Amino acid sequence: MKTKAVRLYGVRDLRLEEFELPEIKEDEILVKVMSDSICMSTYKLVEQGKKHKRAPQNIDTNPVIVGHEFAGVIVKVGEKWKDQFKPGMKFAQQPALNYKGSLASPGYSYEYFGGACTYCIIPHEVMELGCLMPYDGDSFFEASLGEPMSCCIGGYHGNYHTNKRNHDLATGTKPDGDILVAGGCGPMGLGMITYGIQIENRPKRIVVTDIDDAKIARAAEVISPEKAAAHGVELLYVNTAKMADPVKELRDITGGKGYDDVFVMLPIKPVVEMCDKLLAFDGCMNFFAGPTDNQFSAEINMYNVHYISTHIVGTTGGNNDDLIEANTLAAAGKIEPAVMVTHVGGINSIVDATLNLPKIPGGKKLTYTQFDMPLTAIEDFGKLGETDPLFRKLDEVCSRNRGLWCAEAEKILFEHFGVEV
């Protein structure tokens, strides 16, 4: 079967190509990819090429399909898995495989397994690890966004707290505590917020910082303080660029106590060091943002580590349970992965969008791989709709949904481009 895919050959060498897939083996599964959202981690892979820890050393001759936030439909099942999976089943997948200690992962390491394509082959280790999951949601894009949401959920579960009575650790963020999401008005920060306001052990307060008024305004529109208050959480958005003394003013919000849990969403040294200064007693700082520089470092206060039990963790990716939780919560309407998405495009938009990802404003770039369509900002649908009936329909639907992408909009695209599900 032929597939069309975006493949990486080396540093910033991405190519959209059509080629023949081999016949699947008895322990493999052929799938049709429907949606693939673009992750900043893919941009880092493209910038590093062979130097990336997950990239094979022969990508110049055996290129890999990029993209790991994807979902679709099962087409053909190898004999080994026919009792578990059937053609026509919709699927989600967890790319953080960690198979027998290997760093190999879809979108980074495989010739025939990644999300930026029309069809791909899922290898045996994915099913062995339980990382291919049946999906019953109304839309494919929410299954794609289940992966980044699982990273956010994994971040919450990865934090921990101590006590002075024994050596038992309490995993997760502190109930009724103060959470800081630093640099939190990007897509992953919004994921942190939509999850944090509804968790069972919810915090008392979530403070979100940024230095861009436009990003703050959009964040407050899609996840309003009023919505958070309905869940019993005080939600504050603040622009630290307008603060004379950000450390003092952010600490003052907590009454001087500091923050029990801090998520660092930007790999910027001054941001990390500011967050370290904002930790409360037994405060946990999660360095969530992945740097491209393998020598990245920042100064932390070791006096506070010793005397007031401040501590640091780093989380990258979620696990199977996190993905199941993400998809379950999204299906129940308890979280809104759509808050991450600001742009939508087709498979022909992936190369340019990936190469220029940091330069394109907004949040997640969601792509549909079964058709061509320019990468388009949701906020531009209205203007385009003045002359294009497709964008007029999309604008009407998204406007009714607080400017957010949704299952109805996805169906309009599929119908317009004649995509069979």
pLDDT, tens only, 238-276: 999 999 999 999 999 999 999 999 999 999 999 999 999
pLDDT, tens only, 331-360: 999 999 999 999 999 999 999 999 999 999
pTM: predicted TM-score of the whole model, two decimal places:
0.94
The pLDDT of residue 317 is 85
Q: Cβ–Cβ contacts within 10 Å for residue 184, how many?
A: 27
**149-313 is a CATH 3.40.50.720 domain:** yes
Let me know if the fold of 2-147+319-378 is the same as that of 149-313: no
The hierarchical CATH code for the domain 2-147+319-378 is 3.90.180.10
pLDDT, tens only, 34-52: 999 999 999 999 999 999 9
Residues 112-139: what's their mean pLDDT?
97
- Sequence spans of domains, the chain: 2-147+319-378, 149-313
Query: φ and ψ at 47, to 5 degrees?
Result: -70, -30
pLDDT, tens only, 211-233: 999 999 999 999 999 999 999 99
The pLDDT of residue 164 is 86
Q: Which two tokens stand for residue 384?
A: 């385009």
